[in-house]
Amino acid sequence: MNTKTRNINFLLLFTALFFGFLSSCKKDNADIPVTTKPTIGTLEIGSGNNKTVKAGTDLHLEGDIVAEALIDKIEIEIHQEGGSFKFAKIYTDEKYVGKKNVTFHEHIDIPSEAPAGQYHFHFTVTDKAGNTTTVESPLTVQASEARASYKLIFTEVKGSAHGNHFHDLADKDNVEPTTISFDNTGKAIAGHAHLKPAGIYKIELKQFDANSKEIQGQYIKNKTTADYYKAFLTNAPFVLNSKSKNESGAIFQPRETKYEDGTAVNGALETTGIITYFTAGKDNEGEKKVVYVLRKFSDSATKPKITRDDWNHSDYVTRYPGEDVIKLSFELHAEEGED
C-alpha cells in the first residue's frame, strides 16, 4: 500500500470516528428529557411535618426528589408574611448535584433573630436542563426559647453493657442527638429524653456563661480541680445492671479520657462525668423524673471512694459531704420504639 493510499484510509477512518463521536454525543444529549420537570415527593417540613419551628433552632426537612435531567441545585427560601424578614439557602453538594433520585434530608438553621409569626416556605429543585419545580407551604416560626444556661446532649452509640461499665464503645453513623436545654435554675426549658431501653447513649454536659461561651471545662481543667467533682443521676431509683439477673439494668459511667490541660484521666475513679455513657436497660422501662447532679466535695479524699455503682444513691448528700453545683431536672422516657 502506497503512502497516498494510507493517508486516504486514515482520513476516512478519522472522519468516521469523528462523526460517530458527534452522533454519540447527540444521542446522549437526546436521552436527557429537557422538558420533564423534577418531581418532589411528600416533603416533611418540621418535626412530624408540623410546619413549625422555633427561632434559634433548626428546621427538619425531608423528601424524595426525582430529576430525569439530573439535579443542578436545590434552593430554600423562607420569608415573613406581612414583614420584611427573609433568609435563603442553596444546596449544591455532591450528594445531590448530578443525581437523578435522591432523598433530601437536611436541618436548616433558623436565625434566633427571626420574628415570631407566619412565614412562607419555598423549596425549589432546578435540573441541568433548566427545568424547575417548587413546593410551597406555610410555616410558623415560634419565639426563640429562653437562653440556655445548660444542656445535656444524648447521642446513641454502639457498644455492649457488662456489669457496671461498657465495652467497645464507638460512634454510630447518621444519628441525630437529642438535646435538653435548661435555664439557670436547672429547669428544663426545651426537650426531654426519649431513649431506647437497651440503647447506649453518650451524654455531654454543656454549661454556658452570659456570652453563651462553653465553660463546663472548668470542672476538669486538671486533676487537682477534678478531684473535687463527680456526676450523679438521682431522684429516681434504677435497677443497676450489676444487680440485674439478665444484664438488663442501668449503667451511668463517667468516661472522660483527658483533663482540659491535656493530661490523661487515669482509671474509673478519676472520671468526673462531664462526659458520661448511659443505658436505662429493659429493667427500667417507663417514665422517670431524674436529676443530673454535679457535686463538689468538701475534700479531695471523697472522690476516690466512689465506685461505678455509686451514681444513684438516694442519700448521696450525706454519703458524700459537699454541695451540688449543678442540678438539672428532666423527664426520662425509656420506651420501645423511641429514639
Among 43-57, 157-171, 217-231, the range scoring the smallest mean pLDDT is: 43-57
How far apart, in whole angstroms, are the C-alpha atoms of residue 272 and residue 254? 6
Task: Judge whether 186 and 328 are in contact, CB under 8 Å.
Answer: yes
Q: Say how many CA atoms lie within 13 Å of 326 toward its Cβ.
A: 26
Q: Burial, 165: exposed, middle or buried (Cβ in 10 Å; 0-12, 13-18, 19+)?
A: middle
No. of H helices and E strands in the chain?
3, 20
Cell numbers that stand for 99 in this block: 443525581
pLDDT at position 339 is: 46
- For the chain, the distance separating the N- and C-terminal CA atoms, rounded to the nearest angstrom, is 78
Q: What is the pLDDT of residues 222-248, one digit of tens each?
A: 999 999 999 999 999 999 999 999 999
Strand partners, 288: 332
How far apart, in whole angstroms, are the C-alpha atoms of residue 62 and residue 78? 16
Q: What is the pLDDT of residues 291-332, one digit of tens each?
A: 999 999 999 999 999 999 999 999 999 999 999 999 999 999
Give the three-state DSSP class for 323.
strand
pTM for this one? 0.61
Q: What is the pLDDT of residues 134-158, one digit of tens each?
A: 999 999 999 876 678 999 999 999 9
Tell me: domain 39-142, CATH 2.60.40.770, correct?
A: yes
Domain with CATH 2.60.40.770 in the chain: 39-142
Contacts of 324 (CB under 8 A, 6+ apart): 293, 294, 295, 296, 317
